[in-house]
A = this chain, B = another copy of it.
Amino acid sequence: MFRIFRLDEDKVLNEVSSRGSKRVLVQAPEGLRPYLKPMVDKLRELGVTVLLSGNPCYGACNLALREAEMLNVDLIVHVGHSPMVSSSRIPVVYLDAQYIVRENGCLERFKETLLRFRSLGLFSSLQFIGYLEEARKTLEEWGLKVFIGRGSGVKYPGQVLGCNYTSPLEVENRVEGFLFIGGGLFHPLGLSLLTSKPVMALNPLTCSLRDMRDLKRRYLRRRYASIVEARDGEVFGILVGLEPGQFRLGQAEGLKSLIESLGREAYLLGFNYLDASMLEAYTWIDVFVNTACPRLSLEDSERLSKPILSPAELLVALGLIRWEEYIGESSQT
């Protein structure tokens, strides 16, 4: 019912015209690629040569700067994410892709559950961000206090990225719980790890509501098991994401020094996209440490048989902070 994307094609056409771009690289995540043809056709009508990116694109952090240079384009059209990476020799037009959403009575179904809260913080990922204000209206009619935080480094109020939860955290003190509206459990799980307040995830496509507590607990148990396994690690591989928005060489170097100062071995390991077999082929590496995308530890860790720790989890494994400090509470495992 909601599966209609709104692509603001006019924005792209205006930008292309006003810049006089002749050769444009269009980049989009897999799920949006089927819908690009109308925009491509309009660009061609303007006399523009359109090139496509075939590489994975999981976020604004995968900005195809290198591809654009090699393919000699004068503009990147990056579809589906809001701006994140700055400083480029090649200009970038970011094009939101949002679902066209309409309140279809889905919230109503969960009225009883949601009315257990007196106040809620709403948040979402970009695709469903247009739904938040409509949801706010409904919830406020029910007598709830609703807060939508303004984060830093995101475009819209209430918007989160897998590596940026500043929007909901801004209103954390004012709410009893959080409601995520959008697809998947990655983003609400991410917030639930940063707050001790309840987080619920409403998927408006399937009209299902999920309390994140169980998943958080299960996730933390898995993380804890990884940390315990990592304690005996002798050789650490610190993952350095080579995509523009994931590249944290300084942080990786710092972690390397820290590990070495404790008498263990550490190697920086550059990569673009997680390929479990390519990493694990370094059979003599015991533990991976992830400085790239939080998604790796959150969602992709099951594809690796070795522990893959976040920097904070590494500190726990090395005995530098306590698990309780890391999870911010003492009764979770």
Contacts and interface: CB of A to CB of B under 8 A. Distances in A.
Contact of A67 (B33, B242, B277): B242
Nearest to A72: B249
A224 interface: no
B270 A51 contact: yes
Contact of A52 (B33, B37, B52, B268): B268
Q: How many copies does the complex hold?
A: 2
* A interface: dominant SS: mixed
Given A70-B249, A72-B249, A249-B71, A51 B269 contact: yes
Interface in A239-288: 239-240, 242, 247, 249, 267-272, 275, 277-279, 281-284
Contacts of A34: 281-284
A228 interface: no
Interface of A: 25, 30-31, 33-34, 36-37, 40, 50-56, 64, 66-67, 70-72, 237, 239-240, 242, 247, 249, 267-272, 275, 277-279, 281-284
Given A70-B242, A70-B270, A71-B268, 18 more contacts: A25-B270, A31-B281, A36-B284, A50-B267, A51-B269, A51-B270, A52-B269, A52-B270, A52-B282, A53-B269, A53-B271, A54-B270, A54-B271, A54-B278, A55-B272, A56-B278, A70-B247, A70-B249
